[in-house]
Structure 1
Amino acid sequence: MEEARRRTLQLEAAAAESELAVPRLAIVNPPLWELGHVGWFQEKWVLRHAAGRPPLRPDGDAFYDSAAVPHDARWELALPGRAETLSYLREVEREVLALVAGGAAERYFVELSVFHEDMHFEAMAFTRQTLARSAPPLPPAAAGRAGAELAGDVPVEGGTRLVGARAGDGFVFDNEKWAHPVALAPFAIARAPVSQGRFAEFVEDGGYRRRELWGEAGWRWRAAAEAAAPVYWARRDGGWARRDFDRWVPLEPDRPMVHACWYEAEAWCRWAGRRLPSEAEWEAAAGAFTWGAVWEWTASDFLPYPGFSPDPYREYSQPWFGSHKVLRGGSFATPRRLLRATFRNFYTPDRRDPWAGFRTCPT
């Protein structure tokens, strides 16, 4: 818990005062709101829900409850300033650590709050990329390769596989529960995610102009977004460059493709005669390849597993079933404690701001 809070505060410290004002975009939150929300969430579930404490801030719910405060309204709130917000985070941390030290904290809710903070840490890093801010303190982005040395597919035997978390696995989210049998035909899956170099071939071959490569929803998205290339790519000095936070770097052909939306992944697969794996295939094969450099889109819609029952944090999964696609793995910016083969990330198929790429299967 201390490490998560230290990481959050290091990320906050990287922001200049002038960077606290951000444009109203569907894919970002006001920084002071997001920081306060992280503290409020921990207070709500550990101190108030589990320990029965009264609120530390009488206005906390009105400011920071993400289920009750619409996204666009967060820019209109008279939020506490930077110093007061940081003081609130530290106060919540002290109170929760005191409960932990006294053996009075429920482990489940402490872990829930830590993993929630981990996910917001990555989302706050997304925001710095989206807004072309300087790079935050993160592991080296060069982690992970997708070049010729990792070419080819790994064969996977068919059969009935258990997909999902098992009781005794430690903390898992409600959408991972529980392990259930899935029948899989034999298949193969790439040893590495699609590289930036391979994606550049799709772009050069007119991939964004060729209607036959896109599904109906994907073509509508491409037209509305006026997408002619990946979101952070531009022509520089006769080749492609990509924007890495606030600097432009020559495209690295052997690095995994990143900042691709699901629609772009789908179109690339049609162009290459490949397909995205289902999330069950991805999980079944996860021990056969290295993952964790980029989130990886799957073909699967985000749906509940058989017998799904929401955990106390009911808003985590249930509202998003059917409208999002599943990603597996993790990115270089994901805190390592979140990485497990059963973890299900989920975004709408138009999102290009996450560090997401994709791995493919032969058709």
Structure 2
Amino acid sequence: MTALHDLGAQRLRDRIAAELARTRARTALLTEAVDDDDLTRQHSPLMSPLVWDLAHVGNQEELWLVRDVGGREPVRRDIDDLYDAFKQPRSDRPALPLLPPAEARAYLATVRDKVHDLLDRVPFTDRPLVADGFAFGMIVQHEQQHDETMLATHQLRAGPPVLPAPPPPEPRARVVEEVVVPAGEFTMGTSTDPWALDNERPARTVRLPGYAIDAAPVTNGRYAEFIADGGYDDPRWWDAAGWRHRTEAGLSAPLHWRRDGDGWAYRRFGRWSAVRADEPVVHVCWHEARAYAAWAGKRLPTEAEWEKAARWDPATGRSRRYPWGDADPGPEHANLGQRHLWPAPVGAYPAGASPLGVHQLIGDVWEWTASPFRGHPGFVAFPYREYSEVFFGDEHRVLRGGSFGTDRAACRGTFRNWDYPIRRQIFSGFRCARDLRPQELAA
């Protein structure tokens, strides 16, 4: 038994080491692709300078792994306040005495050396923070989330392209308009995924009436029809808050779109190209998504509806970890991990479809839902309230599914993201749902 236990612990250490290295390589790519001036410049008041994110991921790694798990002496206690996201609003961060790029990189290297030393020795005990390597998984996910944030900053920066990536695959399957999800129970959330975060827990049984959901995210072509039909100029499709924001912000198309003759072009990481009709629309806020859904005679799905469509297997009645099963995502399943720099056209990932035939639920674009961000019944904050609990309430709306910029470590069928309904610098899109008609209910 001891030998088996030791073997399992070593496999976990090897997995953690590989995830830490893979994640840090992505951080390096995002921060070494530009010069020091670009690293220290604020490219949008909505985003931090890239160099702040760089040192922040190291500071979180030091706080949780070196100091808390390892009980070691601080590396740089003097910078804790500088890289506290709650104490330092993004708009103020450029004026802080931040570590310059070379010093930030040296700091990250020092912290990582201590973490590797710790990883060789730490017992994966029943202490919740270290059981199943949770603290290390939390740090991997945290850094990957900031990598996606830095990718969004790259999309906002001016200047020539600096991030190379091949185009996503072409469509491989025809996708129907919508799928009917029958009434019944399913398991929402998780109580068993070892690296799931507190807001994904605990699992519970949810019963939903039957509904229809789009088999794919709303595309650029469909969204352009909404624009052409005067959707941005007709208050019928907007609620009061959405119409007020549309008017005050002067919204008339997704972020990064501009007119191009009779059509549209979009800018993607420094490159302009014609808008492709069969790609999921991206960079729309919740208000825009809701208005489109109303115009289309539909609505946004609730978070529970989205998750049932993504995880429920009608053949077994169980909820899968991902739409395709429990196996980790591969390149055939989903557009994740910055492998490509824009959403793949609809039908590009048939191997990633759910048992009901719902496509591209994971990757491509974060999908707005109708639901405000709240804890699941039985929620317990862990390991700190500031990860998610302080954001609960009606101010934030839930997004699900991940984007092309989301890493596989920070994305699964239970993973929950959230943001203000006016935000659209994130890689956000949506799909629609609707209630079933009487004749459909009777069928």
TM-score range, shorter chain: over 0.9
Q: How many residues align?
A: 361
Q: Which piece of structure 1 moves more, 130-139 or 16-25?
A: 130-139
The alpha-carbon deviation at position 108 of structure 1 amounts to 1.4
Question: 2:39, 2:51 within 8 Å by CA — same for their partners in 1?
Answer: yes
The alpha-carbon deviation at position 237 of structure 1 amounts to 3.0
The alpha-carbon deviation at position 84 of structure 1 amounts to 0.5
- Show the counterpart of 2:54: 35
Q: Which piece of structure 1 moves more, 19-28 or 332-341?
A: 19-28
Are 2:171 and 1:118 aligned?
Answer: no
SS in 1 for 2:418: strand
- Show the counterpart of 1:330: 402
- Show the counterpart of 1:306: 377
Q: Which runs of 5+ in 2 are unaligned?
A: 1-19, 125-129, 311-322, 324-353, 436-443
Distance 1:2 1:77, change over 3 A: same
User: 2:169 and 2:263 mapped to 1: Cα distance?
Assistant: 23
User: 1:280 and 1:138 mapped to 2: Cα distance?
Assistant: 37
The alpha-carbon deviation at position 140 of structure 1 amounts to 4.5
Q: Counterpart of 2:182 in structure 1: which amino acid?
A: E
Q: Which runs of 5+ in 1 are unaligned?
A: none
Task: Name which one, 1 or 2, has greater alpha-carbon Rg.
Answer: 2
Using the size of structure 1 for normalisation, the TM-score is: 0.94
The alpha-carbon deviation at position 103 of structure 1 amounts to 3.7
User: 1:144 and 1:345 mapped to 2: Cα distance?
Assistant: 28
Are 2:247 and 1:223 aligned?
Answer: yes
- Show the counterpart of 2:71: 52
- Show the counterpart of 1:18: 37
User: 2:165 and 2:134 mapped to 1: Cα distance?
Assistant: 28
User: 1:49 and 1:21 mapped to 2: Cα distance?
Assistant: 30
Q: Which piece of structure 1 moves more, 132-141 or 25-34?
A: 132-141
Are 2:428 and 1:356 aligned?
Answer: yes
Q: 1:223-280: per-residue Cα shift (whole Å, max 9, x none)?
A: 1111111111111133110111212110000000101110000000111101111110
Using the size of structure 2 for normalisation, the TM-score is: 0.78
- Show the counterpart of 2:28: 9
- Show the counterpart of 1:320: 391
The alpha-carbon deviation at position 24 of structure 1 amounts to 7.3
Are 2:224 and 1:152 aligned?
Answer: no
- Show the counterpart of 1:233: 257
SS in 1 for 2:80: helix
Question: 2:47, 2:91 within 8 Å by CA — same for their partners in 1?
Answer: no
Q: Which of 69, 74, 84 is equivalent to 2:93? A: 74
Q: Counterpart of 1:85 in structure 2: which amino acid?
A: A
Q: Counterpart of 1:30 in structure 2: which amino acid?
A: P
Distance 1:192 1:134, change over 3 A: farther
Q: 1:188-240: per-residue Cα shift (whole Å, max 9, x none)?
A: 21110000000000011111110111011101110111111111111113311
Q: Which of 417, 420, 433 is equivalent to 1:345? A: 417
- Show the counterpart of 1:296: 367
Distance 1:219 1:125, change over 3 A: same
Are 2:196 and 1:172 aligned?
Answer: yes
Alignment identity in percent? Answer: 42
The alpha-carbon deviation at position 73 of structure 1 amounts to 3.1
Distance 1:136 1:357, change over 3 A: farther
SS in 1 for 2:233: coil
Q: Which piece of structure 1 moves more, 283-292 or 213-222?
A: 283-292
Q: 1:109-166: per-residue Cα shift (whole Å, max 9, x none)?
A: 1111110000000000001112245556476563686x99323111111112221112
Distance 1:315 1:129, change over 3 A: same
User: 1:80 and 1:307 mapped to 2: Cα distance?
Assistant: 41
User: 2:383 and 2:225 mapped to 1: Cα distance?
Assistant: 47
